[in-house]
Chain A
């Protein structure tokens, strides 16, 4: 983690530049998501995910606590948890411990760059990273399951850095 391979150093620098120049953006998901439950709404709106046979979360009258479960975001081609991601997971973990009867599917998602096959594996790594962290936090493993959607179900249909950032996430879907 501390030693960045020479080959990806430009990427890391780029990522840092993006983070620095868009310091406001970095916090954006937290600010936006909490009051409006944006990720789940976006999910249904953009992808019509409800009529494809997959077990979609029901959004009607979720318990108050569940609304505060937030998605976790990742760097390009990475599944390691940033400090910010850990903060979000700590908060999620607290809620999950309080509402042990609620079950969640942790959906791993990727941006559109890279190949379909690799991104499917990467999405799973992200979902597993989030789940493993929460289990270490104390959440029952049986409360959480994982699935990777790779790059196939983007939250933001755009093709720019903002869209990619938004699409590199683990989404908590109510089971």
Chain B
């Protein structure tokens, strides 16, 4: 008797514990419950007095440690109280798995960063690679090293070599701006001094499609990052909006209205051919491809209020996905395919929500002051960037996919919104 009563009490306690946990909007999207790997980033050795700060004034080690921490796989310790170099690996605490070393030196007339990762317990080198870092040193070499460490130790892609493009408003003009994922190296991408909205990266990372009013109307264009060249994609009558490239880059889903009403179409990358996918008098917009390219999530107000729907990439089998707000919108399908993030109007503000493509496991990942817009996944499927409107101004924040670790992306002055996270930009040309 008392045993069964106790079981009931424990059951109730668990129920309440579960409810309390749900209130905190926390979920294990990123970590899968696994503990983080402990690693130590040691001071680099600089040979021939090549020690110089990176552009932005930071040390290589600081940037590397921040990249590795941001990856969310590691518990990173910065160790400075020892002699630089790889020889002294014995002094790491027992729970440290790996020691991350670096040496900047001249080799064959070029300045290189020689990265080396040592397993702390055995002292064995488990990763070694040289990166051309130049003089003064280039942040990108450090980011490359960080992504290699993430990939080597976890098998997952890192995002240190990625940039985030967004719409920045200055003097009332809306242009594309871009910034490294860590907020460094802010730069202007377009100088059309007009209205630009809804940027979307081509999967190759070398071009961005967006809606431009440069000709007085909402046309779809693309800008090549290498030289800023603008190419028209679709200037059909009405709106040409909300582009999203298919994962292979062979199609662009967009919302066009040249046949009278805003519908989802598939365009070839040149924009010449348009295949209509939706056929309703309501607004259909904001498409996002599944990573396999076989399905599309989008916004439709067919019930009288905007909600997120999923259909096959040929327009068949549309079904409603979102049910948790009077206005659900701006979906983005994770690169791993396992989650869709969107905004839901809850208590008069938009919050970010996560849901499985089958409609299960709904979670709200933001709360409190401010209204969130346009969440977009990082290519690692573990982070999100989104705009938060607070006090009339929008500002971009990056965060883990569970909503944790929010930090302002950049010091850009002026309204910033409509972010798009680049694919991994490897090599020197892509940045």
Report which A residues bind B (CB closer than 8 A). 5, 7-8, 11, 46-48, 51-55, 77, 112-118, 120-122, 124-125, 146-150, 152-153, 158-159
Report 21 cross-chain contacts, Cβ distance below 8 Å, ordered by A residue: A5-B304, A7-B326, A8-B305, A48-B173, A53-B215, A77-B327, A114-B327, A115-B330, A117-B197, A117-B198, A117-B285, A117-B330, A118-B329, A120-B197, A120-B218, A120-B285, A125-B262, A125-B283, A146-B238, A147-B218, A148-B239
Q: How far is the CA of A121 from the CA of B285 in the complex (A)?
A: 8
The reply to whether A47 and B329 form a contact with Cβ atoms under 8 Å apart is no
- Interface set, chain B 332-356, CB cutoff 8 A to A: 343
Instruction: Let me know if A52 and B195 touch, CB within 8 A.
Output: yes
For residue A47, which residue of chain B has the nearest CB?
B172
Residues of chain B lying within 8 A (CB to CB) of residue A51: 193
The answer to whether A48 and B239 touch (CB under 8 A), given A147-B216, A147-B217, is no
Determine whether the beta carbon of A8 is less than 8 Å from that of B343.
Answer: no
Give every chain B residue within 8 A of A46 (Cβ-Cβ).
Answer: 172
Min C-beta distance of A53 to chain B, whole Å: 6
The yes or no answer to B71 lying at the interface (CB within 8 A) is: no
Which of chain A's residues have a CB closer than 8 A to the CB of B197?
Answer: 116-117, 120, 150, 152
Beyond A54-B215, A117-B241, A120-B218: 7 further Cβ-contacts under 8 Å?
Answer: A54-B213, A77-B327, A117-B329, A120-B197, A120-B241, A121-B239, A152-B174
- Complex Cα–Cα for A153 and B194 (A): 10
Find out whether the CB atom of A52 lies under 8 angstroms from the CB atom of B373: no
Cα-based distance from A124 to B326 in the complex (angstroms): 21
Query: In whole angstroms, how far apart are the Cα atoms of A146 and B198 in the complex?
Result: 21
User: A48-B172, A117-B255, A117-B286 are known contacts. Are A5 and B241 too (CB-CB below 8 A)?
Assistant: no
A-B contact count (CB 8 A): 110
Return A120 CB to nearest CB of chain B, in Å.
5
Most chain B CB neighbours (cut-off 10 Å) among A5, A52, A121, A122: A121
For A114, list chain B residues within 8 Å (CB).
Answer: 306, 327, 329
What separation, in Å, do the CA atoms of A117 and B316 have in the docked complex? 23
- Asked whether B262 lies within 8 Å of A121 as measured between CB atoms, the reply is yes
In the complex, chain B residues whose CB is within 8 Å of the CB of A121? 239, 241, 255, 257, 262, 283, 285
B193 contacts A116, C-beta separation under 8 Å:
no
